[in-house]
Structure 1
């Protein structure tokens, strides 16, 4: 698991004390007498503590069927929920498969399982059927766990719980520090977990990802209940059980970094052609696309519109040894785009189906813009009361679609059905439908 804060930039801030702040500072040039010493808290602050260590040590990696079956038996005899995590090699590999799976359950201890040697973990699934899973940022791991035979029936997501509770920082290390007062070691989440052997530091990091998840779940479960948000959380977690990643669309190439600077259809054709060639090469070699050809190189070629292979190779973004080795393939992609008939070039504007950026609404749909502003104000009042990020109450896309073209007539029942069809949960509909009905009725 790559530990990071996933706080939305427009989310409300939660007014809680950060354990890493307000630490007494003593400047090097200052001296302390006995009186001032009495006023300084000599208890080590959280930032000064050593990183937490697995209480039972770091187990050896499970690589054989016999080891896996033995651990499955211990899991079946264990009690309570089961903590899970998976390590991938994002940024290194094209695939999003798991390269290490970590489990922990009371009575069974921690297991580090190597899915390279053991690609079928259905014995774990059978041993824990109906057991609650605990994951942090479940949407990151559910797909790769399903590939190896692990699918939850009940789960608790500590990252999502943090969002519902209005926590400003919802990364695992931040929540463990705030909720349990422990420091987790950082620095290995973005490592290449496909390499073998894994280092001792990597294994310790991986074990710690599940070491405290059960305690963290219990603490956050109690806080959700105290805040009156436990039913909301259960509804969210139930939906996560059926989560599947959104399929990649045909226009994924339009997300190339820097493409917004290109305004010519021919340039977009070069981006599209190079992106597809890169994706094919990355998939066949199982190397992350950005390591095959950076986005900056694609945009540079699209900006220059080179007429020859030599002109393409002269670009500094294509001067490296790796790019020169693949230059023939890149030139084929560029030349195909350069030869494309004008009538087949991609549109500068994205195809219909998506909504324009809100900044363009006053000109494109002024009534819709007025509705959006009124709806955002109404939702903001609710957010101030319940204290959570805006996107966890209603996704921005759903709110925009409602305001761009609301149901006619925009009754509360019609708005509730619109929200439900758009994927909103019942708790979200119950909190927002009345306010949205009023907001849309008063907007011009």
Structure 2
């Protein structure tokens, strides 16, 4: 077992960055968060490995600025396993790569059945990694030695895995596919904040009536405010199901709320005044939420035959064509083209059905160039064939 030391002061951090700067080649990077324990998605440990320099574990809570690390490795290729999970936390620290290589995403493009880090390392290098600390509370201080060993191993083998996978990408003709995917992940803008995030409450569909929805909204906001103040994951304070249970029970007093057996969670009783005040606010609100929220997303495909038979025919014609091409390429269909993208184009196709117009529609929905080249003509042909089939007289001779 290697004795890993967490670097938790600026002087040691600057020294480590100087060593990393003197290393060679790409840099393996990983982040540990405390998802499910803390409110934020901030980094609680940053791991970096570079050949000729070694592996370093940094504590972002105690290091005042990560600018020296950005300066040391900013122009190098950063290697991740599932970069989309780590980049937002790194961005908060002022760490932004100019090039990335994502071994998890590459493994998907190569058609690996299992794409978790342990599975990919074992396939590429024959090394077995233990993953028992992946869901740990990384805000814990001090971090146990076994956790540090786990964190160090997350980057220690990543560059060798990168080289193995890069060779497979080149051999399979997918290197350009991967390069476009990596750049799309690196440059992807954060998702805009939801207009009404409280509507994501699990079980909210059970709540009927605008007044009850107003209560649910206030309870969600009260929990959100308290979670932010205390830096605790909202679901650890009071689970969604408990908030919904409180709404459905319609208690008429604080004591009645406390008596709701399904109203559980570590803060359900200790913060009873907070929750009861939220219920009262919700009942007094005059700006009631809409009971039904209009959506710009297509309905579930099972409803298309009745609501939009032409779109249903387009989707049924194109979907197997895209799936077949993904199988030929040896990758999951969703990596060739997401089902949501295909559904949206089938539901609302361009006025002119040809490869160019379909390609423009796909690009407008963030499809990459290689995805368009692989699917646009096939989708256009399928759409045309479905329209021709619909226009043929019923019972026409085959």
TM-score, scaled to structure 1? 0.83
**Distance 1:368-1:273 versus aligned 2 partners, 3 A rule:** farther
Pairing 1:71-82 to 2, within 5 Å after superposition: 71-82=16-27
* Equivalent in the alignment of 2:215: 270
Which secondary structure does the structure 1 equivalent of 2:187 belong to?
Answer: coil
Unmatched 5+ residue regions in structure 2?
388-398
- 1:269/1:346 contact within 8 Å kept: no
Distance in 2, matches of 1:359 and 1:236, equals 31
Residues 229-264 of structure 1, C-alpha deviations (whole Å, 9 max, x = no match): 001001111122213331330232222222233444
Report which stretch shifted further, 149-158 or 310-319: 310-319
Distance in 2, matches of 1:257 and 1:296, equals 7
- 1:142/1:243 contact within 8 Å kept: no
Residues 402-424 of structure 1, C-alpha deviations (whole Å, 9 max, x = no match): 01111102222111111111101
Distance in 2, matches of 1:269 and 1:329, equals 16
Q: 1:149 offset after TM fit, Å?
A: 1.8
- 2:20/2:73 contact within 8 Å kept: yes
Distance in 2, matches of 1:362 and 1:266, equals 35
* Equivalent in the alignment of 1:427: 370
**Distance 1:439-1:90 versus aligned 2 partners, 3 A rule:** same
The structure showing larger relative contact order (alpha-carbon pairs under 8 Å, at least 6 residues apart) is: 1
Instruction: Say which of 326, 338, 347 aligns to 2:283.
Output: 338
**Distance 1:389-1:119 versus aligned 2 partners, 3 A rule:** farther
Residues 194-214 of structure 1, C-alpha deviations (whole Å, 9 max, x = no match): 111000101000000001000
Residues 43-92 of structure 1, C-alpha deviations (whole Å, 9 max, x = no match): xxxxxxxxxx5xxx333111122211111111111111000001000001
Q: 1:270 offset after TM fit, Å?
A: 2.8
Q: 1:358 offset after TM fit, Å?
A: 2.1
Q: 1:162 offset after TM fit, Å?
A: 0.6
Pairing 1:289-300 to 2, within 5 Å after superposition: 289-300=234-245
Instruction: Say which of 13, 37, 42 aligns to 1:68.
Output: 13
RMSD: 1.7
**Distance 1:336-1:443 versus aligned 2 partners, 3 A rule:** farther
Distance in 1, matches of 2:264 and 2:363, equals 52
* Equivalent in the alignment of 1:398: 341
Which secondary structure does the structure 1 equivalent of 2:46 belong to?
Answer: strand
Residues 66-120 of structure 1, C-alpha deviations (whole Å, 9 max, x = no match): 2111111111111110000010000010011101000000011000011111142
Residues 390-437 of structure 1, C-alpha deviations (whole Å, 9 max, x = no match): 221112221111011111022221111111111010000000001100
Distance in 2, matches of 1:294 and 1:119, equals 35
- 2:36/2:235 contact within 8 Å kept: yes
Pairing 1:144-293 to 2, within 5 Å after superposition: 144-293=89-238
**Distance 1:236-1:332 versus aligned 2 partners, 3 A rule:** same
**Distance 1:83-1:93 versus aligned 2 partners, 3 A rule:** same
Instruction: Say which of 242, 245, 262 aligns to 1:317.
Output: 262
Q: 1:308 offset after TM fit, Å?
A: 2.8
* Equivalent in the alignment of 2:394: none
**Distance 1:262-1:363 versus aligned 2 partners, 3 A rule:** farther
Distance in 1, matches of 2:73 and 2:177, equals 25
Distance in 2, matches of 1:183 and 1:212, equals 11
Q: 1:310 offset after TM fit, Å?
A: 2.5
Which secondary structure does the structure 1 equivalent of 2:195 belong to?
Answer: coil
- 1:313/1:319 contact within 8 Å kept: no
Pairing 1:293-308 to 2, within 5 Å after superposition: 293-308=238-253
**Distance 1:159-1:320 versus aligned 2 partners, 3 A rule:** closer
Which secondary structure does the structure 2 equivalent of 1:86 belong to?
Answer: strand
**Distance 1:280-1:153 versus aligned 2 partners, 3 A rule:** same
**Distance 1:419-1:74 versus aligned 2 partners, 3 A rule:** same
Instruction: Say which of 290, 299, 302 aligns to 1:359.
Output: 302
Distance in 1, matches of 2:303 and 2:211, equals 25
